[in-house]
């Protein structure tokens, strides 16, 4: 069975992976590095191929960073790591062997969140150019309920400011995030909302948000921090400039 990796937020394409206990067997604070975890190395490669900035975080001091980077290159993944740090980075996904999702007893909260989504939620289609993706949302006047829902699904999605009517919205316009939220709720979700979600996913044409799949191309961050393919962007700009020149 294929491994299902947590979805990352395209608006914050940063994935933080713990070193000791995830990538390698935890031997710290004993000096040296434990045995490699091949499943974790595959996870790291997956997020790199998705165009994410993979950050390795560790409790070790900076004097060990050179040893860690050397280990990464020796295992063929040094090119896939954006940074090594002992300061918790801002990321959309954290992979840590000692972490627990808050709040504790999350299954009970997920069951509540599914019931809330059954009554107040909506799964719909979001059309942008030729790409049709899935959107998830909940509307509610009492923002405290939206905050509870937001916490129950692990902080995925966003809560927007209240409208003139006083109604606020939790939403995710990101297809992979909407899918991850619905996957969390699915065991507790009612048949009507399941059917609604299945119809939307069946009509979706989302294929990775237009991510360039050419391995020879390079993903770089633009001024807004969004990662784009430099070669594809340059090619588009040349065609655009040529068309403008023809139009006089």
Contact between 56 and 64 (Cβ < 8 Å) = no
> For tokens 């300061």, what's the residue?
87
Contact between 184 and 154 (Cβ < 8 Å) = yes
Residue among 60, 56, 59 nearest 69 (CA): 56
Give CA–CA dist 23/19, Å, rounded: 5
Contact between 122 and 136 (Cβ < 8 Å) = yes
Question: What pLDDT was estimated at residue 176?
Answer: 83
CA distances (Å), origin 90, targets 85, 153, 196, 218, 223: 12, 18, 34, 23, 18
Contact between 61 and 137 (Cβ < 8 Å) = no
Residue 14: beta bridge partners? Answer: 53
Task: Give buried/exposed letters for 35-51 (b at 16+ CB in 10 A, else e).
Answer: eebeebbebbeebbebb
> For tokens 């990796």, what's the residue?
5
Burial class of 215 by CB neighbour count within 10 A (0 to 12, 13 to 18, 19+): exposed
Question: What pLDDT was estimated at residue 108?
Answer: 80
Q: What is the mean pLDDT of each run of 10 residues along the chain (248 residues)?
A: 65 86 84 86 88 88 90 89 86 79 66 91 86 89 91 88 90 87 87 89 67 53 56 66 62
DSSP state letters, the chain? ----PPPPPTTS-EEEEETBTTTB---TTSSS---B-HHHHHHHHHHHHTT-EEEEE-SS-GGGHHHHHHHHHHTT-GGGEEEEESSPPP-SEEE-TT--PSSSSHHHHHHHHHHHHHHHEEEEEEEETTEEEEEEEEEES-HHHHHHHHHHTTT-SEEPPP-TTS-EEEEE--HHHHHHHHHHHGGG--HHHHHHHHHHHHH---SSTT----TTS-EEE-TTS-EEEHHHHHHHHHHHHHHHHHT-
The model's pTM:
0.48
Question: What pLDDT was estimated at residue 213?
Answer: 44
């Amino acid at each position: 069975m294929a491994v299902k990796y947590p979805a990352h937020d395209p608006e914050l394409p940063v994935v933080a992976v713990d070193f000791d206990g995830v990538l390698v067997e935890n031997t710290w604070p004993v000096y040296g590095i434990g045995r490699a975890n091949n499943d974790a190395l595959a996870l790291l490669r997956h997020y790199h191929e998705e165009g994410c900035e993979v950050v390795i975080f560790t409790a070790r001091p900076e004097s060990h960073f050179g040893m860690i980077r050397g280990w990464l290159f020796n295992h063929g993944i040094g090119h896939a790591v954006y940074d090594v740090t002992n300061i918790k980075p801002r990321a959309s996904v954290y992979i840590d062997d000692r972490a627990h999702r808050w709040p504790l007893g999350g299954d009970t909260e997920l069951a509540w969140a599914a019931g809330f989504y059954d009554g107040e939620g909506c799964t719909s289609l979001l059309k942008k150019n030729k790409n049709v993706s899935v959107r998830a949302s909940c509307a509610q006047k009492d923002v405290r309920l939206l905050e509870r829902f937001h916490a129950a699904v692990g902080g995925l999605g966003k809560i927007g400011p209240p409208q003139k009517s006083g109604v606020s919205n939790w939403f995710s316009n990101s297809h992979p995030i909407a899918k991850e939220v619905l996957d969390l709720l699915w065991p507790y979700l009612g048949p009507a909302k399941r059917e609604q979600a299945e119809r939307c996913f069946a009509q979706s044409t989302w294929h990775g948000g237009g991510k360039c799949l050419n391995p020879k191309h390079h993903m770089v961050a633009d001024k807004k921090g969004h990662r784009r393919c430099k070669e594809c962007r340059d090619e588009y700009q040349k065609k655009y400039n040529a068309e403008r020149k023809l139009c006089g």
